[in-house]
Amino acid sequence: MLQLNAVRKTFNPGTANEVRALAGVTLALAPGSFTVVIGTNGSGKSTLQAAISGAFELDAGSISIDNTDITRWPEHRRAHLIGRVFQDPFAGTAPSLTVAENLALASKRGKWRTLAPLLRGARRGEWKNLLAQIGLGLEDRLDDPIGLLSGGQRQSITLLMATLTGPKVLLLDEHTAALDPRSAELVISLTTRLVASSSATTVMVTHSMQQAATLGDRLIAMHRGQVYLDVSGAEKQRLTETELLALFSQMRRDDRFDDDACRLVSAQYR
């Protein structure tokens, strides 16, 4: 169970660049659930993930995983509970290390890095099976530096690395947005398989209304740092891409209206 309680975060407070990224978000995500998060630019959907992963300190509110309060834990301390895949397909792997070395570092997620040889006792057979699942012939490239692989290949391996140790929470941050359509499709089908076989509470941010309509068992739309829409169960399954697109234009209209209203008010008081 992943719980967020009245989480607030403002970047650059008191300056011209002040951004209220999270304006009181409360969510309870069931163990093993798969939630898709959508929202306009600057709606706070990526900040939400960053808050869960511990990239910054909250202004207010708390976050807990399985009833353990992790609000004050630094990023690296939470990592044994949280698997992450970033938008940048090159962000999740270390290019000069081999595929096997990257997987080995991930298999010791959250543990002390000791003086034991990294690849001693490596479960190469198991990794080869996992890599074969991706269907890109990666099983034969365990000892190649991962920097030689393509973005789609590296993002697929990042997904494997994120789920390798069975984390409590899996965060996917627009992880197909920077890929070509074919690679994106491949990574999505791998995502579906890995999420189904894992018990992690999954939170996936996406820009694709098609992904939002077809994936997951719950959908959350973020707007201005708050939860704008939250549907699950049968209602979520009925949602279509067209309806989501309509919802999106509605949110964009709200954005415009609010700005106009602001201008109107400030003009009247000048």
Q: How far is Cα 101 from Cα 90, in angstroms, rounded to an integer?
A: 16
Classify strands 68-69 and 201-205 as parallel, antiparallel or unpaired. Answer: unpaired
Q: Write the DSSP symbol of residue 83.
A: E
Among 23, 118, 177, 229, which residue sits at the site for other proteins (rule: CB under 8 A)?
118
53 part of the interface to other proteins, by CB under 8 A: yes
Q: Does 135 bind other proteins (CB under 8 A)?
A: no
CB 161 within 8 A of CB 91: no
Nearer Cβ to other proteins, position 161 or 195?
A: 161
Q: What's the rounded Cα separation, in Å, for the pair 112 and 63?
A: 25
Binding mask 80-99 for other proteins (x = CB under 8 A): x-x-x-x---xxxxxxxx--
Q: Tell me: does residue 75 bind other proteins (CB under 8 A).
A: yes
Query: Which C-beta is closer to other proteins: that of 94 or that of 264?
Result: 94
Residues 6+ apart with CB under 8 A from 201: 1, 2, 29, 30, 31, 32, 33, 35, 168, 169, 170
> Cβ 83 to other proteins, closest distance in Å?
8
Rounded CA gap, 64 and 82, in Å? 12
Nearer to other proteins, 86 or 228 (CB): 86
Q: How far is the CB of 245 from other proteins (least distance, A)?
A: 32
Q: How far is CA 62 from the centre of its chain?
A: 19
Site for other proteins in 230-259 (CB under 8 A): none
In the three-class reduction of DSSP (H, G, I as helix; E, B as strand; rest coil), residue 109 is classed as coil
> Does position 108 bind other proteins by CB under 8 A?
yes
Interface map 156-175 toward other proteins (x if CB under 8 A): -----x--------------
List the structure tokens of 142.
């365990």
User: Exposed, middle or buried: residue 213 (CB in 10 Å: 0-12, 13-18, 19+)?
Assistant: buried
Q: How far is the CB of 216 from other proteins (least distance, A)?
A: 22
Distances (CA, A) of 165 to 5, 15, 169: 27, 42, 11
Among 19, 105, 122, 245, binds other proteins (CB under 8 A): 105
Q: Which is nearer to other proteins, 146 or 251 (CB)?
A: 146
Minimum distance of other proteins from residue 188's CB (angstroms) = 21
- CA torsion angle 229 202 53 46 (round to 10): -40
Length of the chain: 270
Interface with other proteins (CB under 8 A), residue from 114, 197, 249, 268: 114
Residues at the interface with other proteins (CB under 8 A) = 53, 74-80, 82, 84, 86, 90-97, 101, 104-106, 108-111, 113-119, 144-145, 161
